[in-house]
Amino acid sequence: MIANKTQRCLALGAGLLLVAVLSYGQKPALPEFNKLPDWSGVWQMMGGTVFDRATQTGQGGSTTHGVRIHPPYNAEWEAIYQKNLALRDQDRLPDVITNCGVPVGFPRIMNLPDVYEFVIRPEEFWILTENGPNVMRVYTDGRAVLAPEERWGTYTGDSAGHWEGDTLVFQTVALKGSRDGDSILDRTGAVLSDAAQATTRMRRINDTTIESQMVIEDAKAFTKPWTVTKQFRRLPTGTRVYDYGCAENNRNPVDAATGRTLTLGPDGKPLEDREKD
């Protein structure tokens, strides 16, 4: 009787050990590909490129004088934004993407003209933008975002998430924000600090619309979290995405000294300073 009990205990222990050994290093089960939502096709952001139209004041687009948005900035960062707005009004707020080659980063990647593709695989999700072009990767294979001690700020940061039914939920950390003066949210001059991070929920709300809701937190710049929602409209089936070599014929580089966007003539020299007869 005692021997039987001992044998059963040994067998149970061996079984548990076997399970532990087999599962060591194994990733959590991925969702089945055919059970993931279909976001195929070509998509276009709805509305203009004012980053948060819900808080926009003033009529017009992001470069129109008087137009601004209202992130929950503290006094220090509101002053930074006011300075950028003043530069915008003088047409001297440089947009680094005008020089080509600099990624727009997150969250501005949700705020681009031209078209988008959203690529879903069980282990990863990609946002591909024609403009730029830009790529954003979101790991959905069970890994977490980088630990704080492993992070350094980049344009698009580090993102990881999971599927909750048809909703992709992901966290983004390790953003550089406006630290190096080469990342804005829109051409009003709204910016984030390098402490910004976000939780994004993306889902297809109907046959022709994908919605992305971002809750952005910024311990340096904000007094509270900021929720921004962007929507993308599906373009007709068969729509093509084309090559976008931004530097191919960029006749509008930014003059680093003045922040002005130049217009180059066919000879490559700025047209701005030529007085017409």
Partner 1 sequence: MKSVYKVVLAVLAVAGFFFAVQPAVAHHSGAEFMDQVKEITGTIKEFQFKNPHTWIQVVVENPKGEKEEWSVEWGAPNSLARQGYRPSTFPAGAKVVMRIHPMRSGAPAGGFVAAKFPDGKTVGKWE
Residue with smaller CB distance to partner 1, 36 or 100: 100
**Shortest reach from residue 194's CB to partner 1, in Å:** 26
Residue with smaller CB distance to partner 1, 224 or 276: 276
> Distance between the two ends of the chain, CA-based, in angstroms?
111
**Shortest reach from residue 267's CB to partner 1, in Å:** 9
d(CA 115, CA 197): 25
Residue with smaller CB distance to partner 1, 110 or 216: 110
**Shortest reach from residue 183's CB to partner 1, in Å:** 17
**Shortest reach from residue 241's CB to partner 1, in Å:** 8
**Shortest reach from residue 67's CB to partner 1, in Å:** 12
Q: If DSSP states are collapsed to H, E and C, what string results for 213-262?
A: EEEEEECCCECCCEEEEEEEEECCCCCCCCCCCCCCCCCCCECCCCCCEC
Q: Which residues of 207-221 are buried (b: 16+ CB within 10 A; e: fewer)?
A: eeebbbbbebbbeeb
**CA-closest candidate to residue 63, choices 85, 44, 46, 80:** 85
d(CA 265, CA 254): 14
Residue with smaller CB distance to partner 1, 50 or 202: 50
**Shortest reach from residue 69's CB to partner 1, in Å:** 16
Task: Report yes or no: 262 and 252 within 8 Å, Cβ to Cβ.
Answer: yes
Which residues of the chain form contacts with partner 1 (CB under 8 A)? 44, 46, 48-49, 61, 63, 91, 95, 97-98, 100, 112-115, 130-131, 187, 233, 235-236, 239-246, 248-252, 261, 263, 265-266, 271-277
Residue with smaller CB distance to partner 1, 1 or 257: 257
d(CA 203, CA 59): 29
Residue with smaller CB distance to partner 1, 169 or 246: 246
Instruction: Say how many C-beta atoms besides its own lie within 10 A of residue 116's C-beta.
Output: 25
